[in-house]
Structure 1
Amino acid sequence: MADLPECPSSSGTRLLPDELRAWMLVLASTGAVEQRLRSVVKERLDVSHDEFLVLCLLAEQPAGLRMTQIAELLGRPKTRLTYQIACLQHAGLVTRKSVCGDKRGVEVALTDKARALLKESSGLLAETVIQALEEFIGPAQCEAMRALLPGLAKETAAE
């Protein structure tokens, strides 16, 4: 594991409550993982990281999802999502269809090409996540997760 810098709030008095401090440490760690994953996703899938997140969401929903659901789950503006879906559709990775009975509703689903590509690349992508987590998750991040998930601390102590 790389030497992680000392958390600035770990010395002296803390301005942030433990839960907010923990959340910020978790965000920093996941941000570092996303940075590492971006290049692998671009190289292996030839899509952006945001497009990859859409593909991952759809991979867990065989029947597809409405555009509004995807936007809500990813916390993305609908206009940005429309562009991403258009790029994915142009690449042959998703299909779009109108929702029966709702003329404004649009449902998006993975194509067989996208499923095969995700299946083929999933091992490398998972390994990239694991390596990045091993590198960026240090004692402060583990403590932060235990602060956010008190049940995690109990389970760790029981083992």
Structure 2
Amino acid sequence: MKLSTTLLAATVLAASSAMAEPVAPADVQFDEYGAVAESLTGQPGDPENGAMVMKTKSIGNCISCHEITALNDAPFHGEIGPTLDGVADRWSEAEIRGIVSNAKNTYPGTMMPAYYKVDGFVRPGNAYTGKAPEGPLDPLLSAQQIEDVVAFLVTLKEQ
């Protein structure tokens, strides 16, 4: 009886965590240095999809600023951000998740976009075009895309 109760509890816990909603951008818990310890989805990231997000111009487009040897099949790597080769040796998974979600919490002066932020933006478009969107915006990447990028980046260790 005790074993079946334990199995039932484990099954319910696993099912409820599998069905959990992603953490909303406004609810992400950053530590004092900008790291995010908990997964945004409760699901593991897919490194292959993370690589695709990083090199696709219409999604993450990370290679427009960063050089990444593992993504040499994609052209035109940028040089304004640091190389991401060996990034998993420099930062922990939580630090990488925080930087990808909103790098400004770790590096206040960075030009890197906040990929998982929806409010608090300066909207200069109103002064220039009058067409800046009002209200909250959608994040640049979904919670799962963030987890996928993190899963890819943690594979990048020094050779």
**What TM-score do you get using the length of structure 1 for normalisation?**
0.28
Q: Which structure has the greater CA radius of gyration? A: 1
* Greater percentage in helix: 1
Higher strand share: 1
- Normalised by the length of structure 2, the TM-score is 0.28
